[in-house]
Amino acid sequence: MADDDFDLEALKASVARAAPRPDPATRAAHLRAAQESFAASQESPGRARQGSERPGTGLWTGVREMIDRLTGRGALTLTTALVACGLLVLTPAGRGLWQPGPRITAPATGSDMPATAAVPAGDTVLPAPEAAPASPAAAAPPADAMPEMATGAFARMTGAAGPAAPAPFIAAPENSLWMPEQSRDSFANAPANPLQVTAENPVSTFSIDVDTASWSLVRRSLNFGALPPPDAVRIEEMVNYFPYAYPAPEGDAAFRPTITVMPSPWNPGTQLVEIGIQGRMPATADRPPLNLVFLIDTSGSMDAPDRLPLLKAAFRLMLTQLRPEDRVAIVTYAGSAGVALEPTPAGEAATITAALDTLAASGSTAGQAGLSQAYAVARQMAGDGDVTRVILATDGDFNVGPSSTAELESFIARARDSGVFLSVLGFGRGNLNDALMQALAQNGNGTAAYIDTLAEAQKVLVDQLTGTLFPIASDVKVQVEWNPATVAEYRLIGYETRALERADFNNDRVDAGDLGAGHTVTAIYEITPVGSPAVLVDPLRYGPGAAPGEESDELGFLRLRWKTPGEGESRLLETPIRAGDAGARPEDAGFAAAIAGFGQLLRGPDWTGDWSWDDALALAAASRGDDPYGYRSEALALMRIAATLADGGR
């Protein structure tokens, strides 16, 4: 460069070269945040809503939800159609349409009030309030009453998406026509466990899983009127959502396994082996003091009724369960992290409630800064014999800054080794990062729960608080060796994300799930006895054949490894599995089987044959039992919804 001056054009080119491209996912998140912020800015308090849209769902929720419920080609085609529709309004013809349509000149009052973007446009042309539709289905505006532009869009949509797509679309609030946005919920899952031939691979190893987040996600989706995405379905979490009254451990054993063998409801030639583990319920009177650090995401996206306000209500519920000597601190993160409440004894409820009340959502997310600060506060609170736990409440993406998820996980794992555990509570829907939540909680020796209603908060934070917060056994691993003389094939239902290598079982350095006080964990195998007509895999012609010498009626052998919390060395518990085992009450065994079957139907009926939604419902109804909290009744209601949705045709 001979030229000594700075050529602005050269500088411009150089800077343009160095400039990064926006990350598509971040871009989508920002655009959605903008839209939510826009919707929020349009809501004036006190204005009666005429639409069927719930408050605060944001403008694009309808379309997002709708796309969620479509799968495969249908969704792709429809997405394309929506893009075409987006182009339509930007064409010369579209330009004029910005002006005359009822959307823009909408205020019927003729005042300068902002046009009612939060109200479905269809409603603005309805003659009188009493004509306002009551049910979501009726909310679909008649086509001839819709603005011209929207009708055109529908016509294109119908043409492009084929006859299957428009039906659910019309039921969606029509003001959400423009933005073709996929939900950014991401789920942790793996392909369903394959069938194993006992002679080839007799040993099955996995870590227990006490999370229940998947059930809540399924519930939320069904309550919205859509079958959940198959990847959101983790069957073991659905089964483990429900408490089962397995026999309590005797003496001071940490837990007790219960084995039940029963005919499989969906395949006459196979059997189910249910392994239930009941954790001890220590006398709550002598529990150690608790140090809780609430790490609360107060970024802008938490500003929706099912997020921050629900979170506050949930924590208020939880406070009632704490003792005066427990201590609570609150750290928030949004833009920058900060301590909203210094460590405070739970006895000072007024102070804590006041601090909760002042939390407001705004700004962007600085996840890792918040996490670091929460851990710093937790370390400062930790005392001898205390149980210290960070409880992260968030609606989704952690903006982890320069670090990767792996770094975040190792950060949490290091903190775990120093005795500070992490639990994760998920809120809201749309950008929930289920996979990250799972990863964080699994590394933090904690549970991930998804809070969608106050009733769920009651379950997780009040009814089962002791189990959520006090581990009684760490790194609990399950290994089952099946007997090739009696079991031809087996399949573990669920636990795909928890599979372990066979050698991991005896390796105490390999982390596994923790069992909380009073928790129950259930694992279900479907087995095909030797000689059953249901055997799928033919024996090898040149294989070793069944070992005839081993005369045993045992189906298999169950081994459990666990550590007493704080200890490094694991203990072993062994027990045979026999064909006649029937340890669980029939209503518990039957209900668990019904939920496992329901989960498999939701994931796709590969293994359940002709067994129908109604069969699942009938089995669950017959096994409801006493159901003191109403969890099982709720499940029945959801199964009915799923049956209707599935029959209505995907």
Partner 1 sequence: MVTSDEDLALAAARGDGAAFAALVGRHYDRLFALAWRLTGERAEAEDLTQDICLALPRKLAGFRGEARVTTWLYRVAVNAAHDRRRRRATHARAADGWGDWEIARTEAAAEDRARLDWLTAAMRELPDDLRDTLALTLDDLTQAEVAQVLGVAEGTVAWRVSEAKKKLRAIRAREEA
Footprint of partner 1 (CB under 8 A): 4-6, 8, 11-12, 14-15, 17-20, 22-23, 26-27, 29-31, 33-35, 37-42, 59-60, 86, 89-92, 94-95, 98-99, 103-104, 114-117, 175, 177-179, 300, 335-338, 362-364, 366, 368-369, 372-373, 375-376, 399, 401-403, 411
- In the complex, least distance from residue 153 CB atom to partner 1, rounded to whole angstroms: 11
* Shortest Å, Cβ 354 to partner 1: 21
Cα-based torsion angle of the residue sequence 426, 432, 633, 190 in order, rounded to the nearest 10 degrees: -110
Instruction: Tell me the closest approach of the beta carbon of residue 627 to partner 1, in angstroms.
Output: 44
Q: How far is the CB of 342 from partner 1 (least distance, A)?
A: 14
> Exposed, middle or buried, 645 (CB in 10 Å: 0-12/13-18/19+)?
middle
SS3 category, 520: strand
CB of 140 to partner 1, least distance (A): 18
CA distances from 587 to 246, 260, 563, 583 (A): 11, 12, 31, 12
Q: How far apart are CA 159 and CA 129, in angstroms?
A: 34
Distance CA 85, CA 605 (A): 35
Secondary structure E strands in 310-443: 327-334, 336-345, 387-394, 420-427
Alpha carbon distance 32, 66 (integer Å) = 16
In whole angstroms, how close is the CB of 362 to partner 1 at the nearest point? 8
Complex with partner 1: residue 277 or 334, whichever CB lies closer: 334
Q: Which is nearer to partner 1, 41 or 182 (CB)?
A: 41
Euclidean distance between CA atoms 313 and 322, whole angstroms:
15
Q: Which amino acid is at 110?
A: G
Minimum distance from CB of 613 to partner 1 (Å)? 37
Q: Which is nearer to partner 1, 62 or 265 (CB)?
A: 62
Name the residue nearer to partner 1 (CB basis): 64 or 519.
64
What DSSP line would sit under 202-245, residue for residue?
Answer: -EEEEE-----HHHHHHHHHHHHTSPPPGGG--HHHHHHTS---
DSSP annotation of 287: P
End-to-end CA, the chain? 65
| Nearer of residues 12 and 73 to partner 1, judged by Cβ | 12
Q: What distances in angstroms separate CA 189 from CA 175, 229, 240, 495, 605, one per listed residue?
A: 34, 11, 16, 9, 17
Measured from the CB of residue 328, what is the shortest distance to partner 1 in angstroms?
Answer: 20
Contacts of 501 (CB under 8 A, 6+ apart): 205
- Residue given tokens 């800054």 in the structure block: 401
Decide whether 74 or 335 has the Cβ nearer to partner 1. 335
Residue 514, CA distances (Å) to 378, 441, 464, 474, 511 in order: 20, 11, 15, 4, 9
- Reading the block at residue 467, the tokens are 């189990």
Cβ closer to partner 1: 98 or 644? 98
Helix/strand/coil for 16? helix
Measured from the CB atom, the residue of 39 and 515 that comes closer to partner 1 is: 39
What is the DSSP annotation of 293-349? EEEEE-SGGG-STTTHHHHHHHHHHHHTTS-TT-EEEEEEEESEEEEEEEEEETT-H
Nearer to partner 1, 397 or 496 (CB): 397
Alpha-carbon distance of 236 to 157, in angstroms, equals 39
- Of 49 and 650, nearer to partner 1 (C-beta) is 49
Distance CA 80, CA 133 (A): 30
How far apart CA 620 and CA 157 sit, in angstroms, is 40
Phi, psi of 5, rounded to the nearest 5 degrees: -95, 170
E strands within 65-153? none
* Nearest distance from C-beta of residue 12 to partner 1, angstroms: 5
Q: How far is the CB of 492 from partner 1 (least distance, A)?
A: 39
Task: Kindly state the smallest distance separating residue 369's Cβ from partner 1, in Å.
Answer: 8
Q: Least Å distance between CB 38 and partner 1?
A: 4
For the chain, the C-alpha Rg in angstroms (whole number) is 28
Closer residue to partner 1 in complex, CB, 118/524:
118
**Residue whose CB is less far from partner 1, 19 or 285:** 19
Which lies closer to partner 1 via its Cβ, residue 366 or residue 594? 366
Residue whose entry in the numeric block shows the structure tokens 């495969």: 72
Which of residues 99 and 135 has its CB atom nearest to partner 1 in the complex? Answer: 99
The least distance separating partner 1 from the CB of residue 44, rounded to whole angstroms, comes to 10
For residue 637, give both structure tokens. Answer: 């209601």
- Picking from 567, 610, 612, the residue whose alpha carbon sits closest to that of residue 471 is 567
